[in-house]
Every structure is written in structure tokens, then in C-alpha cells.
Structure 1
């Protein structure tokens, strides 16, 4: 009853004052919420700006480092075959050789995509100012194994002019070069009417990814590899 009596006799001015205070209180709460949201937004923008700034700084440093080390982009001018497995070596370059030939040490090499008999292959190499490739050592064999494109045997400049006497087409003494025959070769397979008197890089690839030598019938047609001197010689 007391509360009812109080409400009944409350003056209009008091009610207005009470409502004003309530509005002020609600307004203050809203303002505080806005200030908190504004503060959170400012903090987020600050963190985002800081992160972007750090990223830009890192990119600028990377660019500066690249400018200080231009050799990173230089293409290799020579082949580096002596100190790595040939499958991991630098790709062949043209160097001082004519177009479609590749350079290794002091020689230029051309590999055919067409097939010829051994004699025709040697003649074609001579017409190009070269001869069928002479493989002097294992390093050169690895090089040739790494550049051939076809999964076939390739004629090289090795020929058996007399039974059991192999010679190189450029006059290199066969006894002074490494003998890199494949397993069981040369076998002079007697099934062939013409014998097997010409040497080639075997189509069979070893676990070391090498193509060792094989003897074959000189009248069969295979792709071939020519070897010559650079243009400056």
C-alpha cells in the first residue's frame, strides 16, 4: 500500500526528472560500448598495419639480397662433369659449337635422329668436318650417355678391321683408352651373316645410367654420334 500511495502522489516534475536520469544512464552505457568497439577497431588496425609493415620490410630485404648476388641468375658457361654423378650435372651447352651440336671439354658432339649403316654414318660425320665419336674414358662415356635422346643404340667410331683388333676412326690407339664394353661384349654374334665388327653405345642402360659398348652388324641402321672440333679451332 505504501508504494501505491507513493506512486499516486508523485509529482509530474519528479517523474520527468526520473525519466531524464534513466535516459542519461542508458546513453552513457551506449557511449561506453561505442568507445570499447572503437578501441578494439583501432587496436586491430594497428596490429594489421604492423604486420603489413614487417612483411614489406622482409620483401625489401629479399630484393636487396638478390641485387647483391647477381651471379645466382647467371647461366653456366661450361659443363661441370668431373665432381658429380652425371645424372646431376649441368645440362649441355652449345658453347663454341655450331647449332645442334653440344660442347664437352675440347670437342663438339652431334647426335643424329635418323638411322644409317655404320659406313654411311661415318661418311656423314666426315661431311660435317668430324668423325664418329671416339670415347676415351668413363667421363666421356657418361657425358654421351646423358645427352642421347633415343632409347636405341648409337654408332660410335669403333671398328674391328681385323678379327680381335679394334681401332678408332681418328687413329687414337685403342689400347690407350678405357675399354667400356657391356657385359659379355664384344661377342661377335655368329648368327649375323656379316659378323659384328662395329662398335656402338648399347641401348641397354645400366644401374648407373650408362650406355656401355656393344658390337653390332655394320650393315644395320642405327642413329649415330659425331665428334669434331669447336668452330674456333
Structure 2
């Protein structure tokens, strides 16, 4: 028994010696699934993923200015591709980890109809959207309003969030009746978690392909490569889909 205890402690020590840490920049829309995936990643591998959440465009600026991120989970595919071209990534590491869905959401039950007609009615106080210059979901929202020929009409009621998390907060606290947010923020295990929503048809905006990539600072970090591999695992795929994302 004593020899077994010593062996167990030795194995734990060996595992701990090989455990690492990876700094991950995560698009705000992917907050909940990323937290769930990171927890299981730590349990399965011993590695720790340190997550930071924010707008994709702001992360690009920070990464370009030397921020210590090693992995980037963006809310689009163009930003990681741009970093690829600029030599800021590990070649061949980029892939689409999720395909996002835009929704018009209200914290009020029955406020948003199934076709989004509430936008045309004008019977709402404020409409929250993420900054379209830095947040891909914000850009998709503006595309949708433009396609519906409603952008000029709703302009006086627009409230801009710094990222999709703040955009959701405006609506969840009642500071805005409506918000264009990511489906993942209001959807779990096949159902709407609260309020009312209209799922925006994909034809209304450019596809939201969300790409992951290992950044140059993570090229020699085994934990960075391990985290991206784990993101492709059946467990991670199940979590991603449970929040309403599609897989490419």
C-alpha cells in the first residue's frame, strides 16, 4: 500500500511537471462555452487556459502591439487571416472552430416576434448593437438593418456596446428594449434561456465564421497546441453546439 501511495504521488508530480499554461484571447460571444471547455481541458490535460474576453478588433490591436496572448479565438475569420498574412501566427494552425448565429433579443417575453417585425414597428426605446468596427456581430447587425432598409429609421435609437457582452448587458438590464446579440448568449441546450428572440436568417449578413489560431508567442508552448487540439475534440464540439453554434 505504501509503495502504491509513493507511485501515485510520483505520477502526480510528473504530470504537474509537464502541465503548462496558455494565454487565450477569446471573442466575447464565446465566453460561456470557452469557460466550460477550458475547465474540462484543465481536468483532462493538467494544462491551464487563462482566458481573456473582449472584442475581436480590440484584440487584434493588442496582439499587433505585443500583447502576451498565445492563442486567439476570434469572432470572425478575416482577423486571424490578417494576422496570418502579417506573420503573427503559427502557419497552418488556423481553423474555423464555430459558425455563429445573430439574433435580435429582448429580455421581455413575447416582445420580439418570430419575424423581427418589432424593428419596423418602432415601438421600442433603444436598440443595442456591438461596435461594428471591432465586433463582427456588430457588423452583422448593421448589415441586417441595411438589408431590411431600416438603418436610417432606427439610427436615433441605436446604443453601441464596446463588445457583444456589453451589448447583451444593455438589453438584459433594461437599458435597451432590444439587442442584436450572439445566439450563444441567450441559448443553451436547444432552447432560449430567457426573453424573446428572432433568429436572423443567415442570408441577411456575411457568414460569421469564427477562427482559432496559435499566435507567434505560443509557437513553443505545448499547452497552446494542446488547447487548439482540444477545441477539435468531441467534447468541445458538443459544448459548442449546445450553445447554438454550427460546426463547419
Q: Normalized against structure 1, the TM-score is what?
A: 0.28
Q: Of Structure 1 and Structure 2, which has the larger fraction of its residues in helix? A: 2
Q: Of Structure 1 and Structure 2, which has the larger fraction of its residues in strand? A: 2
Larger Rg: 1
Q: Normalized against structure 2, the TM-score is what?
A: 0.27
